[in-house]
Amino acid sequence: MSTFVVSEPCAIFWGKILIIGNFYDHIEKMKQKEKNSAIIIPEGCERVLLHSCCAPCSSAIVEWLLSHEIEPIIYYYNPNIYPLEEYEKRKTESQRHAASLGIQWLSDDESGEYSGNGHETWLHEVNGLEHEPERGRRCEQCFYIRLLAAARKAQACGIRYFATTLASSRWKNLDQVNAAGLRAAAKANEENALRGGGQSVVFWAQNWRKDGLQERRNQLLKEYQFYNQQYCGCEFSMRKEQ
């Protein structure tokens, strides 16, 4: 009896086909539940700059946005992540996720003040908060740093709305995340006004755990076989886990 062996390239190809097929099947199911959605789309929102902390947390949100005909532009800015090897793992997975769906992916790693992943600058900005507990003042400052960068990037790209995957994690304080986002939008708009105007930005404050997205995240984690980190990102959260 002859044995049929599937080559590695073929296996990868059919694996991608399966993921895409599952993606569109799930979109159809989501559309059927749209009337009962707990997620409120801002008026006139057709594009959103989505600050992404990692691929697993982005996956279900991106899927939801696409199913509602909103174009997500993923922005990966996370100078808190330590060590650099960990940062690169999460970055690579975020890029892989975006590429699999053919959506735009942005990062400031290679430019100016964000050379590398900007961790030394981040440490300076949270100086004095090292011993704060998780969900304390250090986390508030960390959210603000990252979301201010997202607000500025949205302005530079001419995108009115920005959001964050930080609002999908059950380990994060949602009130802290939303407060940081609103504060970041206000600061970016103030800076913009001083420059003479331009694109104003709005933070899309949303609980991205709703509508079954937390459960869907866990499903997509397995489907994509994402690298799944075991701590928030910074050395202080790593110390806490250990």
Q: Is the pLDDT of residue 25 over 80?
A: no
Q: Is the pLDDT of residue 32 over 60?
A: no
Q: How far apart, in whole angstroms, are the C-alpha atoms of residue 147 and residue 115?
A: 18
Kindly state whether residue 39 falls inside one of the protein's structural domains.
no
Kindly state whether residue 13 falls inside one of the protein's structural domains.
no
Per-residue model confidence (pLDDT) at position 181: 98
Kindly state whether residue 201 falls inside one of the protein's structural domains.
yes
Check the CA dihedral 93-169-108-97 and report its sign: positive
Q: Is the pLDDT of residue 42 over 50?
A: yes
Instruction: Count structural domains, the chain.
Output: 1
Strand order in the sheet with 105-107: 105-107, 71-76, 47-51, 161-164, 202-203
Helices 84-101 and 213-224, axial angle in degrees (round to 10): 100
Kindly state whether residue 150 falls inside one of the protein's structural domains.
yes
Q: Name every residue whose Cβ is closer than 8 Å to that of residue 127 and which is 6 or more positions away in sequence.
A: none
For 202-228, the pLDDT digits (tens) are 999 999 999 999 999 999 999 999 999
- Give the residue numbers spanning the domain of 113: 44-241
For 86-102, the pLDDT digits (tens) are 999 999 999 999 999 99
For the chain, what is the mean pLDDT? 88
Per-residue model confidence (pLDDT) at position 128: 97
Q: How far apart, in whole angstroms, are the C-alpha atoms of residue 29 and residue 197?
A: 42
For 165-204, the pLDDT digits (tens) are 999 988 899 999 999 999 999 999 999 999 988 889 999 9
Kindly state whether residue 217 falls inside one of the protein's structural domains.
yes
Per-residue model confidence (pLDDT) at position 112: 41
Q: How far apart, in whole angstroms, are the C-alpha atoms of residue 169 and residue 163?
A: 13
Kindly state whether residue 33 falls inside one of the protein's structural domains.
no
DSSP alpha helices (H): ranges in 195-234? 213-224
Region 10-37: mean pLDDT is: 61
CATH number of the domain that residue 222 is part of: 3.40.50.620
For 109-163, the pLDDT digits (tens) are 754 444 567 899 999 999 999 999 999 999 999 999 999 999 999 999 999 999 9
Q: Is the pLDDT of residue 45 over 90?
A: yes
Kindly state whether residue 11 falls inside one of the protein's structural domains.
no
Per-residue model confidence (pLDDT) at position 113: 43
Q: Is the pLDDT of residue 235 over 70?
A: yes
Kindly state whether residue 90 falls inside one of the protein's structural domains.
yes
